[in-house]
Structure formats: structure tokens, C-alpha cells
Amino acid sequence: MTDMYEYFKSVIDMDTAAVVICNLEHNIIYINPAACERYAKWGGASLLGKNLLACHNAKSQEMIKKVVAWFWEADTNNIIHTFFNEKENKDVYMVALRDENRKLIGYYEKHEYRNRETMKLYDGINV
């Protein structure tokens, strides 16, 4: 039987948006295939284990730290809009990761594209 870890990993791996998961020391502990591709010119899969702050300028580092501090303030502080990328028509968020006791254990960046889906409904299957 497949363990729950494999299901959750698959959810992240099958996402078409880049997902980079960090621990509270800002170390990249997981990077999905879409993120490996998106960040290929910065190292892609080799970013695993690196510190996320090293990948950002001083202003971005400051904002990441402020967001994590805000996550610590209350267990209801779990998502914050950080950027709108006009070129890609997407919103970017930082999302808190919490354990079963609501203790902060890390965070990740979430991308939500505003473009209408171009894939046909149920494309590829006979309906």
C-alpha cells in the first residue's frame, strides 16, 4: 500500500506551477519538477538543500523574513499575497506549513495563474 507521503508528494509533483518548500532556516527541502524547470538557469534541482535567502536580493530577503515572523504571530496567519507578475498574469503567495498541532514548520511559495485554461474539457478521453 502506498503511504500518505507518496500521495502528498504526488500532489506537489503533478502541479504545473513551481513549488519550492523551505524549512524555518530557509533551506530548500523540496523542489517539484515544475520548479526545477522554471529555475533551471539558477541551478534547478541542485537548489535542493541550498538556502532560499541566498537566491534573493536584500529587499526580498527582508520581506521573506517579515512574512515568516508574521506566520509565527498567530496560527491563523497562513497565506499572504507577495507579488503580481504582470508578464505571466499570475499572483504569488507565501503559504505557511504547520504540523497537526498548528505549529509552524516551514513555508512554500504558491503561484496562481489568472489565464483561462486552454486545455479542452476532458481532452484525451472519450466522453
* Contact yes or no for 111/18 (Cβ under 8 A): yes
pLDDT in tens, 84-113: 999 999 999 999 999 999 999 999 998 999
C-alpha span between 36 and 44 (Å, rounded):
4
| Prediction pTM value | 0.88
Q: Which domains does the chain have, with CATH numbers?
A: 4-113 (3.30.450.20)
Q: For residue 1, what pLDDT is reported? A: 65
Q: Whole-angstrom Cα distance, residue 33 to residue 10?
A: 11
Reported confidence tier of residue 9, pLDDT bands at 50, 70, 90: very high
Tell me the C-alpha distance between 13 and 33, whole Å.
6
